[in-house]
Amino acid sequence: MAERRIAFRLNGREVSCTVRDHETLAAMLRDRFQLYSVRESCAQGLCGCCTVIVDGLAVSGCLYLAPLVDGKSVETVEGLGEEGRLDPVQTAFIEHGAFQCGFCTPGMVLMSHQLLQENPQPDQEAIAHYLSGNLCRCATYPEIVEAVRAAAQGSHVAKEEKSHG
């Protein structure tokens, strides 16, 4: 069975490990690094439970081969926020009750975070387009849209404060 040693940045730290060529990124992160925010559900790129950020881009960990992250930077929800402080998206999700069972939540949070990086002031349609590849079987969608809006407002306010101060 083909195997190889790869080295990459994982949530800000250099790591290396041996992976099998046919191993998925989701399986590697769970089995070898115990990063359980990455969850496999549909296994078809449709639900977003396995969302991982690779070199700044969101990918489906279930459809991504682990060996391909060699030399790249990989982030999961575990790496979000600074020094134990929650990211504004996470805070907004809590304040707006934007989840029920929480299984889809890490993926939703990461995608929302990516969206706000690309588009700090998304309207409803932009949110719907960006998150259309993330499913929530508990259908907490209205609350998620509100949380993303609020996080956008928050980051907007924070930025303005900075530029004024």
Partner 1 sequence: MTREVGRSLPRLESEAKVTGRAEYIHNLTLPGMVYGKIVRSTVAHGRIRRIDASQADRLPGVVAVITAAEVARIVQDPYYGPAFHDQPVLAVDKVHYVGDPVALVVGEDRDVLEAAADLVAVEYEELPAVFDERAAAEPGAPVIHEVIRPAATFTDLKNLKPASGSNVAMAYQLRHGDLEAGFAQADYIFEDEFHSHQVTHTPLEPIVTVAEPRGDGGLDIYTSSQSPSFVRMELARLLKWPENRIRVRTAYLGGGFGAKLYMKLEPLAAVAALLLRRPVKLSLSMEEQFYTITRHGATVRLKTGVTRDGRMVARACTIWWNGGAYADIGPRVTQKSGFTAAGPYDIPHVSIDSYAVYTNLPPAGALRGFGIPQLVWAYESQADLIAHRLGIDPWEFRWKNALRPDRPHATGTLMRDAGVLEVLQELKRLMRWDEPFDRGSGTRRRGRGIAIGLKAAITPTTSVAIVNLYGDGSCAVYSSTVDMGQGSDTVLAQLAAEVLGLDAREVRIVHPDTDVTPYDMATLGSRSTYHMGNAVLRAAEEVRHQLRAIGSEIFKCRPEEVELQDGHLVAGERRVSFKEAMEWRFGMQAGNLIGVGSFTPTYKKPDPATGESEDITTFWMVGGNGAEVEVDTETGRVTVTKLVTVGDAGKALNPGLVRTQLSGAALMQLGFTLFEEMRFEDGQVVNASLADYKLLGMRDLPSSVVAEFVEVGATHGPFGAKGIGEVGSLAVSPAVANAVFDAVGVRITSLPLTPEKVLRALKEQAGEIWEEVE
Partner 2 sequence: MNAFELVRPTRLEEALEVLSEDPETVRPFGGGTALMLLMRSRLLQPRRLVSLDRVSGLDRLDLDGEGNLRVGSMVRLRDLELSATVERFCPAISRALLTLSNVRVRNVATVGGHLAHGDPHMDLPPILLALGASVVAQGPAGPRQIPLDQLYLGYYATSLQPGELITELVIPPLPEGTRGSYLKATALSADDWPMAGVAAFFRLEQGRIVEPRIAVSAATTTPVRLPAVEAALAGEAPSEALFSEAGRLAGRDLHCLSDLRGSAAYKREVVRVYVRRALQQVWAGR
Q: Which residues bind ligand FAD (CB under 6 A)?
A: 44-46
H-state helical runs in 56-165 = 88-95, 105-118, 124-131, 141-164
Question: Which partner, partner 1, ligand FAD, ligand FES, none, binds residue 67 by CB below 5 to 8 Å per kind?
Answer: none
Q: Taking CB under 8 A as the rule, does residue 32 contact partner 2?
A: no
- Report the residue number, 134 or 155, with the smaller CB distance to ligand FES: 134
Question: Which partner, ligand FES, partner 2, partner 1, none, binds residue 159 by CB below 5 to 8 Å per kind?
Answer: none
Three-class DSSP category at 151: helix
Question: Which partner, ligand FAD, partner 1, ligand FES, none, binds residue 127 by CB below 5 to 8 Å per kind?
Answer: partner 1
**Start-to-end CA span in the chain (Å):** 59
CA distance 100 to 127: 20
Pairing of strands 73-75, 3-10: parallel
Task: Convert residues 52-91 into a mask of x (bound to ligand FES by CB under 6 A) and - (unbound).
Answer: --------x-x-----------------------------
Q: Taking CB under 6 A as the rule, does residue 49 contact ligand FES?
A: yes
Least distance in angstroms from the C-beta of 20 to ligand FES: 19
* CB-based contacts of 53, cutoff 8 Å, min separation 6: 59, 74, 75, 76, 110, 114
Q: Which residues pair with 73 in a beta bridge?
A: 9
Q: Which residues pair with 13 in a beta bridge?
A: 10
Both tokens of 112, joined, read 């929302």
Q: Amino acid letter at 23?
A: E
Name the site residues for ligand FES (rule: CB under 6 A).
40-43, 45-50, 60, 62, 99-105, 136-138, 140
Name the site residues for partner 2 (rule: CB under 8 A).
1-2, 20-22, 24, 43-46, 48, 51, 57-60, 62-65, 67-68, 111, 114, 129-130, 132-134
